[in-house]
A and B are shown apart, each in its own frame.
Chain A
Amino acid sequence: MAGQRSLTQLQRWMQEVITNPDGIVAGVESSTARQKIDIDGTRIEEVIGRSTRLGSAERLAVYGNAYFARLIECLGDEFPATRFALGEETFQTFALGYFEQSPSTSYSLGFLGARFPQYLIDGRPADIPKPGWPDFLIDLATLERAYAEVFDGLGPEKLTPLQPEALQAIPIELISEVRFVPAPSLRLLEASFAVHEYFTAVRQSQSPEIPAPQETLLVITRRDYVVRRGIVSRPEFELLRAILDGNSLGAAIEIAAEEQPEGTNDDFAANLSRWFHHWASAGWFLNVELPNS
């Protein structure tokens, strides 16, 4: 057919039109769409046929309406507590802004929310003192994204966890050189609010209020394909963080001990063996390695 448009031209035009948040006519009349097919909103029928019941713009609107609605729904499934905290309408506004800035570029919906916590961080109002409600939302979204990644990422289920004897087998003079090998799902999360409790309350269909700030140090992992989370003290958290950063046990202890209040280093030493036992029984680590083993 003479004057037929190329498939590239049609697809680029249609994508511009149906992803315009202001609707089909605004999409058709946007400069980006007119670079592909130069028509105004009265001439859509030149590209898209009408049916006996619907005009061309109304037919395109089926795709346009579905585009953001589908993505927002999927994002809401990934961030149920953040959605609850914001309320449906505000969540939609945030999601819309997020997708305008970070549209999906993956074949999988599993990556849809990957940049959502960062989007909230970037948009944090600077004039609200920390920790305030924006930090609550950021912490909550960070937690929900971590849960999603831990749930469907690599896990420890088919691996052997660290046995308490493994540590005992290390010669005492080498113990400070030991490196812990974490389970692939192990994550640390530092929050200014008890967002894990808020999340659980939403999941249990309660209607929690936004809580007061409370330093919250979380260890997130997975066991039997279900995400688990635990709360740890600041020294234990710092020790875990230093270990996950790749430090040897000796170096990690030095880093973590700095977080101990003055004169309590004896308690720290006493706690170490209790922590190691807990880490082993909780399956947070797979093994201990010496530098040249």
Chain B
Amino acid sequence: MYSLTYKRADSVEEARRLFQEASDAAYLAGGHTLLPTMKQRLAAHDVLVDLTRIGSMKGISVEGDRVRIGGGMTHAEVAGSSEVQRAIPSLAALAGSIGDAQVRHRGTLGGSIANDDPAADYPAAALALAATIMTDSREIAADDFFTALYETALEESEIVTGVSFAIPETAGYAKFRNPASRYPMAGVFVARHRDGSVRVAVTGAGNEGVFRWQAAESALAGDFSANALEGLSVDPDLMMGDIHGSAEYRANLVAVMARRALANLGSAEAII
């Protein structure tokens, strides 16, 4: 790691000010993506602005048909929240399936969403649960938020303060882990919403990051069960390929994980 200055903000406003005062700042949340990158000297920032003590980014509340989770909430806090478990059990289970215990106690919802790792779990839930990403200056629909690999609609100094998820009628998540990193190689979140609409979001597999699998959504609109997906597959040309899994294999995993998610509504299944 290169030498840097660490600053801790007590409010979102202070954080944004500290960020803008520095020449090349970064926000620090759980640090579980940022710090390894900096230790390997793949990134260098002169200032880190720590967001983890900002009270307004904490908390979970159920308001009508939505669950609002603060951007500073750790994965363990979300997984352990009885509100989330009651309202969207598959979301709590997804949070509880991220990384390992250490990661879950440091990594945050805001950090995960802002980072938009193509293999992260939360983006799949955000798309499938028609989430709204709340920042310190505006609200952005999840459909417009994840723009490319590691890229989002956030402005340079904008802060994710929270995410509001629609409470579905039913939803499920299934993923196949990368044996080395244990991030998903293919994760599929399926949800049927109260208005009857169906959303299917895929993470870990697409070569442009998280995406909605529209063909599956249409197939499931009539029959929300694994049977409806029989014979349906994603185009391998649109999948990522690497040493852990070719595009063709990932395409297979997407179809299999979608069926498993439907077989495990109300929970999250992780293979490996």
Q: Do A and B bind each other?
A: no
Residues of A within 8 A of B (CB): none
Q: Mark B residues whose CB is within 8 Å of A.
A: none
